[in-house]
A and B are shown apart, each in its own frame.
Chain A
Amino acid sequence: DAGITQSPRYKITETGRQVTLMCHQTWSHSYMFWYRQDLGHGLRLIYYSAAADITDKGEVPDGYVVSRSKTENFPLTLESATRSQTSVYFCASSEETDMRYSNQPQHFGDGTRLSIL
């Protein structure tokens, strides 16, 4: 039962560089999410996806890009990393079929700790 896996677990990069965080789930859940976790802010939604080739912005999307060509993968790219993007990033998935009426829990990966110098 692999569930949802994120890679890498830790990443250090420099400002201005592009970095991609990977997320893979084995449940065939339709919905996938990217959050960032920062002290004092809890978790904030960056982007989410309802299905392959369907993505939408969350609360804090600026500076991030996502894609979802396959149901099981949902990579997050920082096109030009900034220090303010230093954070812990979590990917999650959910099995609901319609998020408008969703009461299903989200299942989280173990996160990627990203430091931008």
Chain B
Amino acid sequence: AQSVAQPEDQVNVAEGNPLTVKCTYSVSGNPYLFWYVQYPNRGLQFLLKYITGDNLVKGSYGFEAEFNKSQTSFHLKKPSALVSDSALYFCAVRARTGGGNKLTFGTGTQLKVEL
């Protein structure tokens, strides 16, 4: 069975500081990994994905994520946080082969960026 862990329910960071939202995963074989963001009363919006190749993936709104196979992690990062980045962030994983079509989501991390 595949799973995703987001160990922090909430992350607080000051505007202008770097931010990291953590994600670790468990899957048979190689993964496809995704980050989504959810603003209040809205659906999830796709931020970025890792398929293969370069371990550092760049996405929307200045976000990036680093794939680390040995640590089975896919942490979301941004060099300089904005108040408008405050939202709920979800990590998701799918096995590249043999895992069928199921996308498994983490429980989400609430990011709060303060002035």
Report how far A28 CA is from B102 CA in the complex, Å. 21
Interface size on A, residues (CB 8 A): 25
CB <8 Å contact, B101 and A42: no
B2 to chain A, nearest CB (A): 11
* B-binding segment of A61-69, A71-79, A104-112: A104-112
B56 in the interface, Cβ–Cβ < 8 Å?
A: no
**Chain A: CB-nearest residue to B46:** A105
Report how far A59 CA is from B1 CA in the complex, Å. 12
B40 to chain A, nearest CB (A): 11
Provide the residues of chain A in CB contact with B97, threshold 8 Å.
100-101
List 4 tightest A-B contacts by C-beta distance, closest first. Answer: A99-B101, A108-B43, A105-B46, A42-B105
Report how far A30 CA is from B86 CA in the complex, Å. 33
Majority SS at the chain A contact face:
mixed
Q: List 29 A-B contacts (CB under 8 A).
A: A41-B107, A42-B90, A42-B108, A43-B44, A43-B105, A45-B102, A45-B103, A90-B44, A92-B44, A99-B100, A100-B97, A100-B100, A101-B96, A103-B32, A103-B49, A103-B51, A103-B94, A103-B96, A105-B34, A105-B36, A105-B49, A106-B44, A108-B36, A108-B44, A108-B45, A109-B43, A110-B41, A111-B41, A111-B43
